[in-house]
Amino acid sequence: MNNILKIQIRKKLFLIPLIIIPFFIATKSYIIIFLLLQGRFFNVFQQADFQVHLYHITGSTLKKMLHSYNLSWGIWFNLWFILSQTIYLFSNSGSFQFIIIELIDFNIILFISFIIGNMLSNSDLITIKIGLLKTMAASFVFGTCISLAFALLKILTLLNTPIFIHLILLMIMVGIWQYYTKQQLQIKFIQYYL
Nearer to another protein, 64 or 154 (CB): 64
CB 85 within 8 A of CB 102: yes
Nearer to another protein, 11 or 28 (CB): 11
Task: Verify binding: residue 6, another protein, rule CB under 8 A.
Answer: yes
Helices (H) and strands (E) in the chain, counts: 9, 0
Binding residue count for another protein, defined by CB under 8 A: 21
CB 147 within 8 A of CB 82: no
Binding mask 94-123 for another protein (x = CB under 8 A): ------------------------------
Task: Verify binding: residue 127, another protein, rule CB under 8 A.
Answer: no
> Of 29-88, which residues contact another protein (CB under 8 A)?
50-51, 53-61
Nearer to another protein, 95 or 129 (CB): 129
Nearer to another protein, 73 or 142 (CB): 73
Nearer to another protein, 61 or 157 (CB): 61
Q: Which residues sit at the interface with another protein, rule CB under 8 A?
A: 3, 6-7, 10-11, 50-51, 53-61, 185-186, 190-191, 194
